[in-house]
Amino acid sequence: MSDVQGLERRTFGALPDGRAVEIVHLRAQGIEARVLTYGATLQALLVPDREGRVDDIVLGHDDLDGYVAARSFYGATIGRYANRIAGGTFSIDGERFQVPANDGPNALHGGPDGFDRQLWEIAGTGEGAEPFVRLSRTSPDGECGFPGRLDVDVTYRVRAGELEIAFEARTDRSTVVNLTNHAFFNLGGTERLTDILGHELTIEADEFLSVGEGAIPVGGPADVAGTAFDFREATPVGTRVRAAEEQIRQGRGYDHNWCLRGAAGGKPRLAATLRHPSNGRVMELLTDQSGVQFYSGNFLDGTSVGKNGLTYRMGDALCLEPQLYPDTPNRPDFPSARLDPGATYRHRSLYRFKHA
């Protein structure tokens, strides 16, 4: 990681149709983020440990072909609707809409051609102590079955020891929106990859959502107390990941939404803390969203070859995805995902790094 602050743009490759994909390096004190225009993707995130050693802590690929060949969501922007919609169908004001099913009978992460499979445009950049890149795209009315033209911006910004990801969206027709970033984290670094079972995790939530088959929420928020889902105090990820609980069996580990304390939509508040006990890296996630999806890398199966020629296997990384609750368009008791003309969808999350 260079000590030079600022921004650098390079060509990362070309899509099969010849369109160029860029990579943008954002550097500030103690952090470097690399962002692709394909999928508005966080391709790399470099931070130091307590000894000053710098590692890339997110999974991904070293070249564009890896991202195009297989849909693995590494670091990608997810939309129009992150997580699952039961049956791929929902209603707005009595009108029914169908999103193609791509996860069994359900729609996952926007359907088969979500935002992670699209080429975004660089709409703005900034240098100095807080360099940023703003990526934009227009999702046309009816794309993947969703109503309304949606104009979307994603801004990546770095400042001393912190990455900010901010989303905005506007529509010309009532629709549903739920955007997130799908980074796969390993605070031990991606060069000498070891599993994340020893990572210590805290989640600022007293409740989570139980799921049925297909990982669709059933019932309302459930108390974490006395279950494998209690991360109110720092707990190694592997402590209960094989617990004899039905919810763990359902997802082969953790793939659930935690209902965060505090009101959504205001100033980002602490949602989760992740710590590597050996190298001392600590990541704090702050968000203005109502929930966070914790996924323990259960379906990484060795078929994906990532950075440094390594295959990614079960438990090699975890995801903490700030977002609305799953299947919200079909659950009027959940925080609403509806966006109407004249309103602006906003989502702001901060990833703060330190060492202890």
E strand or H helix at 306, and its extent?
Answer: none
| pLDDT tens per residue, range 128-146 | 999 999 999 999 999 999 9
pTM of the model: 0.97
- Segment 150-169 shows an average pLDDT of 98
Confidence of residue 5 (pLDDT cuts 50, 70, 90): confident
Find the distance separating the first CA and the last CA of the chain, reported in whole Å.
21
Cα distance between residue 111 and residue 103, in whole Å: 8
- Can you give 5-56 as a three-state secondary structure string? CEEEEEEEEECCCCCEEEEEEEEECCEEEEEECECCEEEEEEEECCCCCEEE
E-assigned strands of 185-254? 200-203, 205-211, 217-223, 235-236
Confidence of residue 41 (pLDDT cuts 50, 70, 90): very high
pLDDT of residue 1: 60
Cα distance between residue 216 and residue 121, in whole Å: 33
Map residue 332 onto helix, strand or coil: coil
Which domains are assigned to the chain? 6-355 (2.70.98.10)
Cα distance between residue 86 and residue 104, in whole Å: 10
Confidence of residue 250 (pLDDT cuts 50, 70, 90): confident
Confidence of residue 325 (pLDDT cuts 50, 70, 90): very high
- Percentage above 90 pLDDT, the chain: 95
Find, among 196, 25, 211, 200, the residue nearest to 103 by Cα: 211
pLDDT of residue 3: 61
> Mean pLDDT, the chain, as a whole number?
96
- Of the residues 22, 32, 164, 321, which is catalytic? 321
The maximal CA–CA distance of the chain, rounded, in angstroms, is 58
pLDDT of residue 2: 54
- Of the residues 25, 182, 199, 355, which is catalytic? 182
182 carries an active-site annotation? yes
Identity of residue 297? G
Q: How far is the CA of 29 from the CAs of 25, 34, 43, 261, 290, in angstroms?
A: 13, 15, 19, 31, 30
| pLDDT tens per residue, range 74-121 | 999 999 999 999 999 999 999 999 999 999 999 999 999 999 999 999
